[in-house]
Amino acid sequence: MLGAAPASWDGTGARVSGRDEDRPRRTLKVAVSQSVDSLNPFLATRLLSTSVHRLMYENLTNYDPADSRPVPGLATAWKPSSDKLTWTYTIRENARWSDGRPVTARDAAWTFTTMMTDEDAATANGSFVTNFREVTAPSATRLVIRLKKPQATMAALDVPIVPRHIWSKAGDLAEFTNDRTFPVVGSGPFVLTGYKADSYVRLTANPVFWRGAPEFHELVFTYYKDGDAAVAALRKGEVSFVQGLTPAQARALADEPGVTVNDAPGRRFLALATNPGARAQDGRVFGDGHPSLRDPRVRRALFMAVDRDMLVDKVFQGYAVRGEGYIPPRFSRYHWRPAAGQRVPYDPGEAARLLDGAGYRKNAEGLRTGADGKPITYRLLCHATDPNDKAIGRYLQEWYAGLGLGLRVDCLDNVTDPWTAGEYDLAFDGWSVNPDPDFVLSIHTCAALPATPGAPGATDNFICDPRYDGLYGRQRAEYDPAARAALVRRMQSRLYDTGYMNVLAYPNAVEAYRSDRIASITTMPEAAGNIYGQDGYWSWWSATPAEPYGAGPGGGPPTGALVGIAAAGTLLAGGAGALALRRRRTVDDRE
């Protein structure tokens, strides 16, 4: 921990705000490279959107920024029955919606029940409630969830609780955008007060937030399609924070007066996904993925042609770790590495022999042909705003050309539509992983497939493997932390062996902020953690303005300090600590 904590805490865990209402109000502007997919928390999956929702709406529980254990949110305590099939949550009495009404257990019951009964409401987070039998609110402060079978994620339900008195009048949730009337009623540290698609999201400090109002009066996420433009805006003081820096940008900012660069182990992975053949739960097949990718020998050959060490060295220039398992090493309890005999090595020669053995031999021009006799050219979905995607795409083109395969790199502003339609062969994929990995594991189950072709679904890549599904069900019902972790590692092993998801790297979180604007801000974890895209709202809620604000180099403001904070409260429910342990880049940089 560097510097002093930005706030003190009273006996209830609420921050004692140091805000002087007479002093000028401060705006914190954050540059982002991603647009919002939806401001409706039932539908949103992109990282920016879910980050905004964490600021707008409290969950039942939060994560301690120091060690990621569950800590109170809207719930002050939670306790299971002896058979683990009934969970009772005590809802805090001092929480208020931003319109002044009390937050009650009935709001939470309405949120969960709506997800259980409305297919559209289950779009983003439906996996959390598929095992729920019934959710009731016997009183304003008592929430009861009855399960079909034990579920180990009950202290890590990452579901934004919405106000029943607003959302019960929303009508068709698939069409409700939640961005037409401002301010938007919420219970989190900030209130949504303005939005323009592909331009900005504006939030204002919530004065009735139970932990205490943020020190910055206004928080604005401003969209920059070009990363260099965002860095230039930081230098000019037009924004105070940028994320997703390239190595060159990070080095250039390292000696910039009034700027602090934060380089931390990331909570996400970058993978090369192969289309396994898109299908729906009703059995219908759709999309146009190349049929050769259904052969495990072809998928293995494609991954054997990738030099992951070179990508870490040349593309990330050391700001990443070589990829292997599905869950990044930051989450040491669940991180998995293949055994020596299981690991897929970089071996272009063996890759060529596998393709020969699969029947995809070279013609007279040295090009491998498919069953139709035509040369094989795969389509690779690439994010237009991600320079790393583009750089890796060029390496893949070179490596696959050596195998006699063509590769067309399609860098698009919107990769969601072709991905959802199954109209791709390969794609850059990745997710931000939460302390409890249940969500990122659930998106590869058969239950996550869309109900019908084109329907919304939670699937990441249309994977449906019965063996994987069996392991998923077992880990979800396992309360012993060590036994559950072992099952999660077995799931990653199975996912690795199928070859549908090939993890290339674990990129670092490389970001920068103006220390003449921000005096202190919480990282998560507090020792060498990230600021943007946290598992909670700690960074923006805890950020304190430098004084004099915006004075610049030599103006006397304190230097930037990355600090951690003690999480509010203690776990009051017996056994809840043992459950310490969740979630999600989208296809368009998913959460």
User: Which CATH number goes with the domain that contains 482?
Assistant: 3.10.105.10
pLDDT at 5: 36
Query: Which amino acid, residue 214?
Result: P
Query: The domain that contains 218 carries what CATH number?
Result: 3.40.190.10
- Over the range 506-542, which residues count as b (16 or more CB within 10 Å of their CB) and which as e? bbbbbbbbbbbbbbbbbbbbbeebbbbbbbbbbbbbb
- Asked if the structure places residue 560 within a domain, the reply is no
pTM metric for this prediction: 0.86
Q: Distance between CA atoms of 242 and 554, rounded to whole angstroms?
A: 22
In a domain, 578, yes or no: no
**Do 220 and 302 have their domain in common?**
no
410 contacts: CB under 8 Å, gap ≥ 6: 379, 380, 381, 382, 418, 424
| 534 in the same domain as 498 | no
154 and 182 housed in the same domain:
yes
pLDDT block averages, 10 residues each, the chain of length 591? 32 42 78 95 95 98 94 98 98 98 98 97 95 98 98 97 98 96 98 97 98 97 95 97 96 96 96 96 95 97 98 97 96 96 97 98 96 96 93 98 98 92 96 94 96 87 97 97 98 98 97 97 93 96 86 38 35 33 34 46
Is 52 within the bounds of a domain? Answer: yes
**CA angle 60-65-67, nearest 5°?**
100
Give the SS3 label for residue 491: helix
* 429 and 502 both lie in a single domain: yes
Q: Note whether 244 and 346 are same-domain residues.
A: no
On whether residue 223 sits in a domain, the answer given is: yes
Residue 39 domain-assigned?
yes
Claim to verify: residue 59 and residue 170 sit in the same structural domain: yes
Is 370 exposed, middle or buried (CB count within 10 Å of its CB: 0-12, 13-18, 19+)?
middle
Question: What's the chain's length in residues?
Answer: 591
Q: Domain end: 507, 533, 566, which one? A: 507
pLDDT at 455: 82
Domain interval for residue 395: 268-507
Query: In terms of domains, do 157 and 291 share one?
Result: no
In a domain, 582, yes or no: no
Does 79 share its domain with 91? yes
183 with 289, same domain?
no
Same domain, residue pair 221 and 278: no
| Residues 308 and 399 occupy one common structural domain | yes
Q: How far apart are alpha carbons 78 and 60 in whole angstroms? A: 9
- Give the end of a domain, one of 478, 507, 536: 507
Asked whether residue 436 is domain-assigned, the answer is yes
Q: How many domains does the chain have?
A: 2
Do 337 and 468 fall into the same domain?
Answer: yes
Q: Would residue 211 count as lying in a domain?
A: yes
Q: Would you state the pLDDT for residue 457? A: 80
Residue with tokens 């504006």: 202
pLDDT of residue 578: 32
C-alpha 261/C-alpha 247 separation (Å) is 11
